[in-house]
Amino acid sequence: METVPTIQGKQITLRKIQEKDVDDRLVLGRHHEFIHMCGGETLTEPEYPNRDTWVNWYNSAKTADYSWIIDLNGHCIGTAGFHHISEEDNSATYRIGIFDVQKHSKGIGTEVTRLLLEYGFKIKKWHRIDLKVLEYNHRAIRCYEKCGFKKDGILRESAFIEGKYYSDIIMSILDYEYDCDSSCLSCN
């Protein structure tokens, strides 16, 4: 299991999951906007699953490699990390989810993405980091483009959501395209 370092940003801290994060997830629940942007079905109103749901989430997440909690002022507001790590291709797939919909459009996703790109390219020395995003998730696409990701292609009508097909956009950034700017850890 890969031990992830704590990474301090300007607004947030990226850290390993802690048992106290269960309480934050319990309070935040599940909201339509977050679920829909991840490809889930519409919720008529926020759902607040019982504590066991989030204890199971914690137990699963605490053994995940390359996974961080997005901590804002001592509270879990989301997760981010890498999966599909390929030693042969020297690549990884990026993921991020900000559960607290009140924290959307505040620059947090951009900060997290930049911090983890720095980790992937400068620490892990990966050549390529990619991701998949639903075509209607315009906020995420703008964030990824701002961080240097480029569109590779489209998986046409690859997601069936609420009775309609949507396409996924594949995006990537390569090590030589990565530009460490003032938001990077080593530049601060």
Up-side HSE of residue 62: CA atoms within 13 Å toward CB? 11
Q: Is 41 part of a structural domain of the chain?
A: yes
pLDDT confidence of residue 183: 44
Based on the structure, what is the number of domains in the chain? 1
Task: Check which CATH number belongs to the domain holding 87 and give it.
Answer: 3.40.630.30
Tens of pLDDT, residue by residue, the chain (188 residues): 567 899 999 999 999 999 999 988 888 777 667 666 666 676 566 566 678 888 888 888 888 889 999 999 999 999 999 999 999 999 999 999 998 888 888 999 999 999 999 999 999 999 999 999 999 999 999 999 999 999 999 999 999 988 899 999 999 999 999 987 644 544 44
User: Which of 110, 161, 111, 103 has the alpha carbon at shortest distance from 7?
Assistant: 111
Does 33 map to a domain?
Answer: yes
Q: What is the Cα–Cα distance from 175 to 184, expressed in whole angstroms?
A: 15
Q: Please indicate, yes or no, if residue 1 is contained in any of the structural domains.
A: no
Is residue 97 assigned to a domain? yes
**pLDDT of the residue at 188:** 41
Selection from 166, 11, 160, 175 nearest residue 100 by Cα: 11
- How many angstroms separate the CA atoms of 105 and 119, rounded? 23
Residues in contact with 5: Cβ distance below 8 Å, sequence separation at least 6, in sequence order: 119
> CA 66 to CA 102: how far, in whole Å?
26
Name beta bridge partners: 159.
Answer: 166
In a domain, 2, yes or no: no
Amino acid 52: pLDDT: 85
Antiparallel, parallel or unpaired: β 91-98 and 128-134: parallel
Residue 52 belongs to some domain of the structure: yes
pLDDT on residue 187: 43
Residue 187, C-beta contacts closer than 8 angstroms, at least 6 positions apart: 180, 181
Q: 78 is in which domain, residue-wise?
A: 7-187
Contacts of 147 (CB under 8 A, 6+ apart): 110, 113, 114, 117, 173
| 3-class state of residue 121 by DSSP | helix
What's residue 43's pLDDT? 59
* pLDDT attached to residue 186: 47
